[in-house]
Every structure is written in structure tokens, then in C-alpha cells.
Amino acid sequence: MKFEPAKFLPGGDHFMLVQFGDDASIDLNFMALGLTAALKAAALPGVVDTNPSYNSLVVEYESDDISYADLQTQLERLIGGLGSVEELELDSRLAYLPVMYLDPWTRECVADYSEKITRRGDDPDFVARENGLEDAKQLARVHSGTEHWVVAVCSTPGLPLMRALDPRCALTSPKYNPPRTWTTLGAIGVGGLSTSIYTTPGPGGYNLIGRTPVPLWDPRQRHPIFKHRVVLLDAADRVKFVPIGEEEFGYIEARVADGSYEFNITAYQRFSVGAYKKWVASLNADGRF
């Protein structure tokens, strides 16, 4: 697939926004993540930090080491080297995350909002209706029926912005307006095209459909998995939600608390965009689980 050439836009004196396109085509995110990987491999002097998202990448640079014009030239060269999106292969781990759908804690969050800010019904029912699903139970079946692609880790530490890789499981829903003032830790939210997991108990705008007992980051780095990295997920990882009940939730929560929880992440696969697109083309797009 061919794209318009990327646009390069300044963000003040030490940031550059590389815009691959204007829409939410997942190919644009593959390109942004492909460029992020290429930029790291190239280890260009003066490149300080990267921040990819849906269809763009923000690069922070040190202008004493590389000028705006030279950075753009280097990025154009690296984008040229990526080839077509189908040729991209990205390192991609698969994380299994237990989730209790339709849990009591996020319901409490929604009830609190309903009481204090503006009346609203049950979030899972709302999302099910918006997407033409029978009920909240089917919503859980659909949401857990796909691998979710980590588009970016952003906003707050460790927060994954994800979208369904299986088009039969794609969900869209409007976000809260006005937003919630608090959200329970580990809440699974859906809004726009995205699924996210709340990693800080702050405000939020996504519809809440479940909760995971597994921490996605730990600033104190207590558990061995956080020894060499503070957050669990990276962009280009995949997440598979594993439905659990309340009893299992309590069991995992206790194991997380005493440090004996065994995280389930595989790291032996690479994600081939070409193979993925071939698979998507073979599907019955109207199918639902």
C-alpha cells in the first residue's frame, strides 16, 4: 500500500512531529512503530526521545547535535528504508492479562459518576448497544476474542493505548463528556477505537467494562519482572484478555500483593504486517463472536 509522503511539523525548538497520515488506518501506526524501531537501531546523535501514537511519531532532539533540517533528512532516509508497510516486521511480545468483565469496582466508579456528575446507565450495556451486540455478555466475548495491538504507551506511566487486531472484535464508542474525576486502578476502558487500562487512579473518559488485578507498572520495582523495566508493555506488543471470575480475581490480587504472581508474557514472535493483512483479508468481516 502506498501513502502520501510523511509530513514533518515543528513542536517548539526541540520536538518534531512526523505525521504519516490523518486517519486511523492501523497501517499508519505500523509505519510509526517501524520508524521508531529504525530510529533506535540507527542511534542517531542528537535524538533524545521518541513518542509514537496512532498515525504519528514525536521525536525529541538536541539541536546542538542535529539541526531540524538534518533530522528531517535522516528521518526521510529511514522511512525510505522501511519499504512498503507489508514488508514491516516488528518485535511483538504477547501478554496474557486476566480480566474480570462486568466487575463490581468499575460499576461503582460509574455509579459514583452518575451520582455526582451526570446520570448515566451501565457502561457495558451502553457499549454493547452502540456496537449492535446482544448484551454485555456478548461484549465480554467479543472483547476477549482478539489480540489487542499496543498502539502506544502514553499519557500516564505504563498506560497502553490498544486496538483490536481482529476486525470481528472491533468496537467503537463515544467517550464520557464531561470526563470522570476518578477511575479505579486496573479498570479496562473502551472509547473511540481504543481499549485502555488505567494505571493511575485519575480522571478518564473511556467506558468501563472490566478490571484486571495485574499491575502494568511499578515505580518501586518490587516484582522481578519490573527489575529492569518499570512498565509491563511496550508499543507493538499484543495483549490477550483472559476472562476470570471474582474468586480468581481475589486469588491473583493476593499473589500480586505477596510478590508470587507469575506474569504470562511470551516473547518468541515477530509481527509480520504482510501476513496479518493477508489473514484479515481472508475473514468474514461481518462475523461476530
* Residue ranges in contact with another protein by CB under 8 A: 9-15, 17, 19, 22-24, 36, 48-58, 60, 63-64, 68, 151-159, 161, 174-175, 177, 192-194, 199-200, 202, 217, 219, 230-231, 234-235
The answer to whether residues 72 and 148 touch, using CB atoms and an 8 Å cutoff, is no
Q: Which is nearer to another protein, 140 or 235 (CB)?
A: 235
> Smallest distance, Å, CB 179 to another protein?
10
> Smallest distance, Å, CB 122 to another protein?
22
Q: Which is nearer to another protein, 13 or 115 (CB)?
A: 13
> Smallest distance, Å, CB 247 to another protein?
31
> Smallest distance, Å, CB 60 to another protein?
7
Please report, in angstroms and rounded to a whole number, the separation of the first and last CA atoms in the chain: 29
Q: Which is nearer to another protein, 140 or 171 (CB)?
A: 171
Positive or negative, the CA dihedral 224, 227, 233, 236 is negative
Q: Which is nearer to another protein, 217 or 249 (CB)?
A: 217
Query: For cell 517501524, what's the residue?
Result: 34
> Smallest distance, Å, CB 246 to another protein?
28
Q: Which is nearer to another protein, 51 or 272 (CB)?
A: 51
> Smallest distance, Å, CB 83 to another protein?
23
> Smallest distance, Å, CB 254 to another protein?
23
Sheet holding 7-11, edge to edge: 7-11, 15-19, 56-61, 47-52
Q: Which is nearer to another protein, 167 or 192 (CB)?
A: 192
Positive or negative, the CA dihedral 61, 64, 68, 71 is negative
Distance, in Å, from the CA atom of 209 to the CA atom of 186, rounded to the nearest integer, reads 11
> Smallest distance, Å, CB 42 to another protein?
16
Give 43's contacts (C-beta < 8 A, 6+ positions apart): none
Q: Which is nearer to another protein, 55 or 144 (CB)?
A: 55
Count of other CB atoms within 10 angstroms of residue 43: 7
The answer to whether residues 157 and 219 touch, using CB atoms and an 8 Å cutoff, is yes
Size of the chain, expressed as the number of residues it contains: 289
Q: Which is nearer to another protein, 11 or 245 (CB)?
A: 11
Amino acid at 92: S
* CA separation, residue 20 to residues 8, 24, 69, 182, 189 (Å): 9, 10, 18, 34, 27
3-state secondary structure of 263: coil
* CA separation, residue 142 to residues 29, 58, 206 (Å): 23, 33, 17
